[in-house]
A and B are shown apart, each in its own frame.
Chain A
Amino acid sequence: MVSLATKVKSLFASLVIAGTISNVSANDINDTKIAFSSNRDGNYEIYVMDSDGTNQQNLTNNLNYNAEPSWSPNGKQIAFSSNYAIYVMDSDGTNQQNLTNNQSGNLIPSWSPDGRRIAFRLYKNDGSRNYEIYTMRSDGTDISR
């Protein structure tokens, strides 16, 4: 006969295998941060800081016009505009990638709540002379008006 203790152990083992329990300590929780743009080094860069203003860090540090950061819903990436293209980078500034290789003006990215798409403002140099809202997948594909 299976002992009671064995049944209890088996029950919790099943829960862990099913992925419903994650044994993460409270020390792993990140404090929230604020991304922003600033021209303090002579041109606009993307910075992050703790929500109390401390630990300010330049993430872009190049000669482009970098502005309008938008944090991804999972906190791992930041979308931003750079010289009228939409870029994403990891939240530590690495892996910067241009998502919109076109001749239009791409500005003001905003993540969808599920993190799958990015909405942005696009200005086409085709004489239409107005801004429109587009979305694309977070990898830059499937740009839709």
Chain B
Amino acid sequence: MAIDGTDVRRITNTTFNESSPSWSPFLTQGISVKYTMDENYTVESGLNDGKQSFTLKIANPEQRILENS
């Protein structure tokens, strides 16, 4: 069921005793990043959990690189 007690679902349906459920953890496997060396030096990045994503773009790569150099 949901954590507010709603949406109760029956998962097993037998004539036996089923007990002690333990849910496996939800794991974020890693962070996925891809970048393209095009004229805009675009960087795309996202959390690889299938639920969240974001895009990061370096709008002015020349300035950023100069600051870091």
Is chain B found bound to chain A in the same assembly? yes
The DSSP consensus for interface residues of chain B is loop
Q: Name the segment of A23-31, A98-106, A126-134, A135-143 touching the other chain.
A: A23-31
* Interface footprint category on B: 20 to 34
Q: A5-B37, A24-B29, A26-B32 are in contact. Are A38 and B18 (CB under 8 A)?
A: yes
Flag if B65 contacts A4 (CB, 8 Å): yes
Partner of A8, one of B17, B24, B61: B61
Give the CA-CA distance A90 to B15 in the complex, in Å: 28
Flag if A73 contacts B16 (CB, 8 Å): no
* Interface footprint category on A: 35 or more
Flag if A71 contacts B48 (CB, 8 Å): no
Q: A21-B33, A24-B30, A49-B11 are in contact. Are A37 and B65 (CB under 8 A)?
A: no
Determine whether B7 belongs to the interface, using a CB cutoff of 8 Å to chain A.
no
Determine whether A91 belongs to the interface, using a CB cutoff of 8 Å to chain B.
yes
Q: Measured between C-beta atoms, what is the minimum distance from A28 to chain B in Å?
A: 5
Partner of A78, one of B22, B34, B62: B22
Determine whether A64 belongs to the interface, using a CB cutoff of 8 Å to chain B.
no
Flag if A30 contacts B27 (CB, 8 Å): yes
Determine whether B5 belongs to the interface, using a CB cutoff of 8 Å to chain A.
no
Q: Measured between C-beta atoms, what is the minimum distance from B21 to chain A in Å?
A: 5
Q: A4-B61, A30-B27, A53-B12 are in contact. Are A36 and B18 (CB under 8 A)?
A: yes
Q: Measured between C-beta atoms, what is the minimum distance from A4 to chain B in Å?
A: 6
Residues of B bordering A, CB below 8 Å: 11-14, 16-35, 37, 41, 48-50, 61-62, 65, 68-69
User: Can you give 24 A-B contacts (C-beta < 8 A)?
Assistant: A7-B65, A7-B68, A8-B61, A9-B37, A22-B31, A22-B48, A23-B32, A23-B33, A26-B50, A29-B48, A29-B49, A29-B50, A30-B24, A36-B21, A40-B16, A44-B17, A51-B11, A53-B12, A67-B19, A69-B20, A69-B22, A70-B22, A71-B22, A78-B22
